[in-house]
Amino acid sequence: DTEVTQTPKHLVMGMTNKKSLKCEQHMGHRAMYWYKQKAKKPPELMFVYSYEKLSINESVPSRFSPECPNSSLLNLHLHALQPEDSALYLCASSRPPGGPYNEQFFGPGTRLTVL
Amino acid sequence: SQQGEEDPQALSIQEGENATMNCSYKTSINNLQWYRQNSGRGLVHLILIRSNEREKHSGRLRVTLDTSKKSSSLLITASRAADTASYFCATDVEGGSEKLVFGKGTKLTVNP
């Protein structure tokens, strides 16, 4: 299985809602990533988990809360978001970090709209 | 922060023509990668070139890397309408960080 899956595909939420994005991979990868991508822009790294531990937080606001329950799953909990947080949220995974071949495998993304 | 800068920002060609995209970066790297993204979808890894390599081929793709100029190019030969997508270069940080920094991307349109 060489696929990264993300659910839901689309999410519309109000500013007072709490929701979660989910990501799953079964490639045995030990690094997992959350990216945010605005229209016509490149992906921007938000978080990296390495061996289920948070290794990089790119100064993301606390209304985004990542969680890595096990080596196959990655969640992004959302609370009190702002309309400017509307974007495509991409999950990715890669082989054990620190090696020279850190090709990343991406999921299809969750299109988030905050009203 | 963005490390890579692609040019052109947009490229429109006819089917069968070759497409060349360029990427420049700022810091020393272990490797440079190219990804493709169809509209509103996830990114797909195309090719990785290591810092000690100068050229790499994969099917209709040819990538070059010039570390002295901190630049790379992606050539797609005999383009097809299905190649229409955005193309991003991505660089890691020398030292083995798992972090990738993506360039701004080139939007390629291949007209039938």
Per-residue pLDDT at B33: 94
Distance (Å) from the C-alpha of residue A113 to the closest C-alpha of chain B? 14
Q: Is B3 on the interface with A (CB under 8 A)?
A: no
* Tokens read off for B2: 């963005």
Give the chain A residue nearest B102 (alpha carbons): A42
Residue B69, both tokens: 């100029």
B23 in contact with A, Cβ within 8 Å: no
Residue type present at position A49? Y
Q: Tell me which chain B residues have a C-beta less than 8 angstroms from the C-beta of A6.
A: 42
Sign of CA pseudo-dihedral B8, B9, B12, B15: positive
Query: What 3-state class would DSSP assign to A26?
Result: coil
B1 touches chain A (CB under 8 A): no
- Cβ B103–A88 below 8 Å, yes or no? no
Q: What are the tens digits of pLDDT across the range B7-57? A: 889 999 999 999 999 999 998 888 899 999 998 889 999 999 999 999 999
CA B94 to chain centre: 19
Q: How far apart are the first and last CA of chain B?
A: 36
- For the stretch B70-93, pLDDT in tens is 999 999 999 999 999 999 999 987
- A31: nearest CB among B98, B105, B107: B98
Chain A residues with beta carbon closer than 8 angstroms to that of B44 = 106
Is B93 within 8 Å of chain A by CB?
no
Nearest chain A Cα to B85, which residue? A40
Give yes or no for a cis peptide into B8 (omega within 30° of 0).
yes
Express each pLDDT in A78-109 by its tens digit.
999 999 999 999 999 998 765 656 789 999 99
Q: Tens digit of pLDDT for each residue in B87-111?
A: 999 998 766 567 888 999 999 999 9
B25: contact with A, CB 8 A cutoff:
no
